[in-house]
Amino acid sequence: MTGKPLIVILGPTGVGKTALGVEIARTLNGEIVSADSRQVYRYMDIGTGKPHAQQLAAVPHHLLDIVNPDDNLTLARYQKLAYAAIDDIHQRGKLPLLVGGTGQYITAVVEGWSIPEVPPDEKLRAELETFAVEHGSETLHERLRQMDTEAANNIDHRNVRRVIRAIEVTTITGQKFSDLQRKMPPLYRMLHLGLTMAERAQVYERADQRVDAMMAAGFLDEVRSLLEMGYPRTLPSMSGLGYAQLTTHLLDGVPLEEAVAKTKNDTHDFIRRQYTWFRGHDLGTLWHNSNEIQTDVLIEQVATFVRS
């Protein structure tokens, strides 16, 4: 096999990807490149599940805390930063691990998407956002389908921001969004490891426990601090799981128990979408039950792959 190695660790929220990545990287002289669309933001630590201090001290991490919550990190920019980090790790003779649960980030890197560099059109976006509110996400999605059937088939109607982006790019360039997303896979030797659990209910239970742990760690205070710093609820960053729901408690008077319960339910929906993405973009992922992992055996398998 040719090409430098890249280990990809993916899976739904809360199954232990970070811990596994740290163990592999620590043992095999590796460094972690985050593939999490929320952990890129500064000041958003508890609710995004960023690695804790001991993990950060044990292994170098890349693409954490790289933008403020009101910055726009496009997929194209993330991809460039990820490639730069991976190449830098290789040049220093270390093993890069791409670790996270944001399927779009992972797929853009491993499949080598050619992402159109089209700046945002705020006026058009505002019009489309208003249209979605007034007519519903499915109607907006149908509008995309009339412009680009392939893009519509690949984007869930509930992902309104992505639907708007596809319409925006197609409108501005005059070319189909799907045609602009050509693929040029990078010349890495990739091993894809997926973490899951035997039953979906177990994944949901683990996610619920994670939300409870975040609340105990001060998640509500983190959201309150962001609002006090002047970051409005309308920002994409503030629409993240937990942040949007806890904001309704702080600003709208929604009972805290209700806001936490909605965070858990919305997390379950998000996990379902993660699994759907991973199934639709599977490049030979080797799935493992996170409750039954023998870390030393898995590390040896990775070491064997790297040596091959």
Could you tell me which residues are beta bridge partners of residue 125?
none
- pLDDT confidence of residue 85: 98
Report the C-alpha gap between 41 and 53 in whole angstroms: 17
| Domain 122-180 bears CATH identifier 3.20.20.450 | no
Coil vs helix vs strand at 192:
strand
Within 10 A of 294 (CB to CB), how many other CB atoms are there?
A: 10
Check residue 238 and report its DSSP letter. G
- pLDDT confidence of residue 283: 87
Residues whose CB falls within 8 Å of the CB of residue 212, separated by 6 or more in sequence, listed in order: 260
* Contact between residue 10 and residue 285 where contact means Cβ atoms under 8 Å apart: yes
- pLDDT confidence of residue 115: 80
* Contact between residue 17 and residue 298 where contact means Cβ atoms under 8 Å apart: no
**Residue 206: which of 1, 15, 71 has the closest Cα?**
15
Compute CA distances 305 → 23, 115, 289, 300, whole Å. Answer: 16, 30, 20, 9
pTM score = 0.85
- pLDDT confidence of residue 154: 85
- pLDDT confidence of residue 112: 93
- pLDDT confidence of residue 120: 82
Full DSSP string of 32-86: EEE--TTTTBTT--TTTT---HHHHHHS-EESSS-B-TTS---HHHHHHHHHHHH
Spell out the domain ranges in the chain: 4-114+183-307, 122-180
* Contact between residue 97 and residue 7 where contact means Cβ atoms under 8 Å apart: yes
Residue burial 65-77, b: 16+ Cβ < 10 Å; e: rest: ebebbeeebebeb
Residue in the block written with tokens 């962001």: 226
- pLDDT confidence of residue 161: 87
- Structurally, at CATH architecture level, domain 4-114+183-307 sits in 3-Layer(aba) Sandwich (3.40)
Question: pLDDT tens digits, the chain, 308 residues: what are they?
Answer: 579 999 999 999 999 999 999 999 999 999 999 999 999 999 999 999 999 999 999 999 999 999 999 998 989 899 999 999 999 999 999 999 999 999 999 999 999 988 877 888 889 999 999 999 999 999 999 999 999 999 999 899 988 988 999 999 999 989 898 887 778 888 899 999 999 998 999 999 999 999 999 999 999 999 999 999 999 999 999 999 999 999 999 999 999 999 999 999 999 999 999 999 999 999 899 999 999 999 999 999 999 999 98
- pLDDT confidence of residue 1: 52
Fold: same for 4-114+183-307 and 122-180: no
- Sheet with 4-10, edge to edge strand ranges: 61-62, 30-34, 95-100, 4-10, 188-196, 286-289
Report the C-alpha gap between 301 and 216 in whole angstroms: 37
Coil vs helix vs strand at 297:
helix
Report the C-alpha gap between 70 and 72 in whole angstroms: 7
Query: Exposed, middle or buried: residue 288 (CB in 10 Å: 0-12, 13-18, 19+)?
Result: buried
Residue burial 120-141, b: 16+ Cβ < 10 Å; e: rest: eeeeeeeebeebbeeeebeebb
